[in-house]
A and B are shown apart, each in its own frame.
Chain A
Amino acid sequence: MSQKKEIDEGITFDTFMEGVWRQNPVFVMVLGMCPTLAVTVSAVNAVSMGVATLFVLVSSCLLVSLIRNLVPKEVRIATYIVIIATFVTLVDYIIQAVSLSLYEALGAFIQLIVVNCIILGRAEAHASKNPPLKAVVNAMGMGIGFTIGLLALGATREILGAGKLFGFSLFGEHFQPWVVMVLPPGGFFVLGAWLLLFSFMRSRSEKGVAHE
């Protein structure tokens, strides 16, 4: 792995892909778990939560990056939290205005985006040390990686637990849904299974590299 120097490094493809694959928040870093398990009972809810988080992530990182040279280091965490809370409040109102039924489905977890470790982590580790455009690209990568992770979980749980995908029935009338998958235990099991798959794939690729 090459060392990254913050100052000279421009925006590379890796800046974006870091969040999608190598440091995927759901499958690799296992961060932001609370909304991940609670709202992924269907693919639609999962994607909506992912997009809402993406919006908050990108806006917060943009604002944090813009004021990064003005904020004294003692108060930076408090400042970041206030900024993130602002954008979450925004998203809360926007979702209510767009679709009340979606708002009911996602519930309190929209407001819980503010304590999603991913956002504060990105703001602190990346956005506060990089120019705005780079911060935004990286945040987008993270957000999209998060959404992909949520979608994988949501789709799996919806298919197994309700026989549907995005609301469309897949298996017809006689499908016996595996109801536990849309209940809390199912969330834990499905995420565990995905993590298992990822660690299996990674160990395979490491073995492949070692043999060369």
Chain B
Amino acid sequence: MNESLSQIFIATLLTNNFVLAMFLGLCPFLGVSGRLGTALPMGIATTFVMLVASLCAYGLNLLLSAFHLDFLRLISYIVVIASSVQLVEMVMKKYSPALFRALGIYLPLITTNCAVLGVALFQTARDYDFAQSLSFSLGGGAGFTLALVLMASLRERLQLANVPTLVQGTALSLILAGLLSLTFMGFAGLGGGE
């Protein structure tokens, strides 16, 4: 596809938002987005891992295709992702222990975040070159963070509102997500085509 870099970035950030349109990264989206203070660092950490995963996936794909080892693609991607998350964990533990404690169990859970593996798989499927992959993963991470931050802000506000007990919790988050997703559909056609 001859998509320009800015087209890819805008499309992944808004029109095809990873969370609200492509359903990737839902577990942390529904789990961590309770407070803005944890949502933003989580989004940034995930974006970083997505970037690393995207670069490694690009390199791995070149290697695997050269040796006709395509069937090892999935395993190699997931192992690389697991290792990158370990790395991020160690770096964060050393340089920002408070943040490390705040994120708790959700940090290692970035490994099972569909969005990270999704970046690697989708960029391979769409045959993006290096610059396009970079743009794609940045847009994806930014979109994920955007969705997370929006959700967190909404949920914080809603804690002050009179929500029926039955609806509270995950059901409410899902309805909110649905409304957000509906809104984002309005971005259709932005930055795409002529």
- Give chain A's interface residues, CB within 8 Å of chain B: 30-31, 33-34, 37-38, 77-78, 81-82, 85-86, 88-89, 92-93, 108, 111-112, 114-117, 120, 180, 183-189, 191-193, 195-196, 199-200, 203
Contact = CB atoms under 8 A, between A and B. Distances in A.
Given A184-B21, A192-B174, 6 more contacts: A30-B170, A89-B71, A115-B111, A185-B178, A192-B171, A195-B174
B117 A114 contact: yes
Nearest to A82: B75
Interface string B22-37: 1111110010000000
B166 A112 contact: no
Contact of B112 (A30, A108, A120): A120
Contact of B170 (A116, A120, A195): A195
Given A33-B27, A108-B118, A196-B167, A188 B74 contact: no
A112 B27 contact: no
Contacts of B179: 185
Contacts, number: 111
B62 interface: no
B66 interface: no
A112 B175 contact: no
A195 B176 CA distance: 14
B112 A192 contact: no
A86 B174 CA distance: 32
Contacts of A195: 170-171, 174
Given A183-B185, A184-B20, A192-B171, A34 B26 contact: yes
14 contacts: A30-B30, A34-B27, A89-B71, A111-B74, A112-B118, A117-B109, A117-B112, A184-B22, A185-B178, A185-B181, A189-B178, A192-B172, A192-B174, A199-B169
Contacts of B112: 115-117, 120
Nearest to A114: B78
A116 B116 CA distance: 13
Nearest to A85: B75
B37 to A, nearest CB: 23
A111 B76 CA distance: 13
A38 B121 CA distance: 15
A200 B171 CA distance: 11
Contacts of B116: 115
B90 to A, nearest CB: 15
Interface residues on chain B, size class: 35 or more
Contacts of A78: 79, 82
Those 9 A-B pairs whose CB atoms lie nearest each other, nearest first = A188-B178, A192-B174, A33-B26, A34-B114, A185-B181, A38-B23, A185-B182, A189-B178, A195-B171
Interface in B79-120: 79, 82, 109, 111-114, 116-118
B171 A33 contact: no
Contacts of A184: 20-23, 181, 185
A33 B82 contact: no
B122 interface: yes
Contacts of B79: 78, 81-82, 85
B166 A38 contact: no
B184 to A, nearest CB: 8
A193 B78 CA distance: 33
B1 interface: no
A199 B75 CA distance: 38
B125 interface: yes
B30 A34 contact: no
A131 B191 CA distance: 55
A112 B82 contact: no
B185 A85 contact: no
A112 B117 contact: yes
Given A108-B122, A115-B114, A115-B117, A189 B25 contact: no
